[in-house]
Amino acid sequence: MSIFFKSPIDIEVLLDGEENRKHVDLFKGGSSTKTMKESLPLYEDGESIAGLVTLRVRDGRSIDHLGVKVSVIGSIDMVKTSGGNTTSTNGNSKLNSNSSLYNYDDPKKKPVDQFLCLSYDLCPAGELNHSESFPFTFKNLSKRYESYRGKNVDVTYYVKVTVMRKSTDISKAKKFWVHLFKDMTPPVREPNVQGSVTDAAGATSQTTNTPPSVLTKPVRLDIGIENCLHIEFEYSKAQYSLNDVIVGRIYFLLTRLKVRHMELSLLTRETSGLKPSNFLLDSTSIRYEIMDGSPVKGETIPIRLFLSGYDLTPNMSCNYFNIKNYLNLVIIDEDGRRYFKQSEISLYRTK
């Protein structure tokens, strides 16, 4: 869309009860415009999306069209699909040209998968010579994924109204945000994505796949560096709701390190693209100091971390990408050396 040619028709999409709906505040995509915020209405899975489309004709001119279509679209967008592979971008461009899809937030991200696309005609072809409104409804719309805005991957939802013309179609998209809430009944664990936990400190991980039935059981880890450090830590469980509190403790069995402090961080790992050349992006969501100074043998340090105050991303997984969360215990000694131990935790959203 060029600013020199004003669109002859003005499309407005209003969602029902948008004013009263809960909104999610987001930074606009793109690093340069990080300070700009946008606020999107929030929907759940299975919630109907209804609204009103108003078409306004400029200056009383009449416009011929081949019909007006409303669609609800959910798509996965990516900057890089897989480590510089061009074949998929070709596919994307094809997709792009066919359905004129684009990412409204970050022009660099290109849609790779449109997992939701429902549309219907609001009015047949004809002439539009005055403003007209059309209500629309997508009843009990099922939404597969949560909305997500990451570094490499976005999951976006929007309602798109297209006025089809012989020349360029005129369209307007209205974004909305989706949260998926997990049932309080024990969630079904998705098949664990292979790839063992990395461990820079050389500690051995003893975590194994936790069967769904024992998800509430505490997670115990026993790590150490020979003749230097031996700690045992324990989290109350491996799965947390986003409103949850991580409670645990760290027990120092042996410590010859001069510890300056110890912190707990929550790492969100975005894995995108297809195997084997997938693309990893880590971001630290929380950094939380839990200990100051050097403990002695036998000391137990309590952990309590409220999650609700942070803006966290629940675990997600699909063919194109997945989001995982890790708790990272970092010990920093007096010389600034860092010793850390990651353990995966699963976050989910509840009401």
Partner 1 sequence: MSYADSLPQAKSAVKQNTVLMQRALQQHSLMDALKYASQLLQQLRNPLLPPQRQYYELYVMVFDTLGELTLYLVQGHKRGRHHLADLYELVQYAGNVLPRLYLMITVGSALLQCNDETVPQAEILKDMIEMCKGVQNPTRGLFLRYFLSQMTKGLLESLMDLPFSITFLTTNFVEMNKLWVRLQYQGPLKERDLRTKERKELQILVGSQLLRLSQVIESEEADQEENFTVYCEKILPGILEQMVQSRDVICQEYLFDIVCQVFPDNYHLETVEQLLQATAQMNPQVSLHKIIATLVQRLIDYVEREAAPGKQGGRSLFDIFWQYLEKLGDERPDIALVEVLDLVSNVITLNNCCDPENTDNLNKLYSLLFTKCKDFAVNDEATEDTVQQQQLFVELMTFKEVKRANLIVVNCPKYTELLLSIHPRAQLQAIESLLNLFLDQSDDWVVETEDQFMKLLALCKPATALISKEGQETVPLVQQTVAKWCHALVRATTKSRQLRPITKQVQLLLSLKNALHEGTSQSVSCTYESLITLWWQLIKKCDFLRSRLPKNKSSYDTSIKQIFKYVSRCITELFNVVGPSITDRVFKLNLQTASIADQLSLPEISYDFFTQALTVFEDTLSDSRTQFQAIVYMTQILQRTRSLRTEGEDYYDNLIVRTTLHASKLLKKQDQCRAVYLCSHLWWATEIESLGETEDDAETEGQFYREGKRLLECLQRSLRSADSIMDNMQSCELMVEILNRCLYFLIYGEEAQTRVSVNYVNGLIELIKTNLNSLHLEQMAELKLDDTSSTKTPQRVLMGQDGSVLKVSKSNGAVSVVLPTAASTESVAELATIPADHFQRTCAYILQQAALDDRFKAITV
Backbone φ, ψ for residue 70 (5° rounding): -115, 135
| β-pair partners for 347 | 240
Sign of CA dihedral 33, 266, 44, 158: positive
Give 125 or 253: the residue with its C-beta nearer to partner 1: 253
Mark the segment that binds partner 1 (CB under 8 A) among 19-27, 32-40, 180-188, 290-298: 290-298
Give 183 or 289: the residue with its C-beta nearer to partner 1: 289
CA 32 to chain centre: 20
**In whole angstroms, how close is the CB of 301 to partner 1 at the nearest point?**
6
Q: How many CB atoms lie within 10 A of CB 1?
A: 9
Give 250 or 323: the residue with its C-beta nearer to partner 1: 250
Q: Counting contacts by CB under 8 A, is residue 347 touching partner 1?
A: no
Give 293 or 336: the residue with its C-beta nearer to partner 1: 293
C-alpha to C-alpha distance for 156 and 173, rounded to whole angstroms: 11
| Distance between start and end Cα atoms, the chain | 40
CA 248 to chain centre: 27
Q: Counting contacts by CB under 8 A, is residue 164 touching partner 1?
A: no
Q: Counting contacts by CB under 8 A, is residue 309 touching partner 1?
A: yes
Query: Which residues ranging from 223 to 262 are in contact with partner 1 (CB under 8 A)?
Result: 259, 261
**In whole angstroms, how close is the CB of 343 to partner 1 at the nearest point?**
20
Under DSSP, the state recorded for 213 is: G
C-alpha to C-alpha distance for 246 and 265, rounded to whole angstroms: 12
Q: Which of 84, 191, 293, 336 binds partner 1 (CB under 8 A)?
A: 293
Q: Counting contacts by CB under 8 A, is residue 124 touching partner 1?
A: no
Mark the segment that binds partner 1 (CB under 8 A) among 231-239, 283-291, 320-328, 337-345: 283-291
C-alpha to C-alpha distance for 219 and 210, rounded to whole angstroms: 9
**In whole angstroms, how close is the CB of 243 to partner 1 at the nearest point?**
12
Q: How many residues bind partner 1 (CB under 8 A)?
A: 19
Q: Which of 274, 288, 322, 350 binds partner 1 (CB under 8 A)?
A: 288
Closest CA to 215 of 186, 190, 257: 186
Looking at this protein, which amino acid is placed at residue 145? Y
Site residues, partner 1 (CB under 8 A): 259, 261, 287-296, 299-302, 304, 306, 309
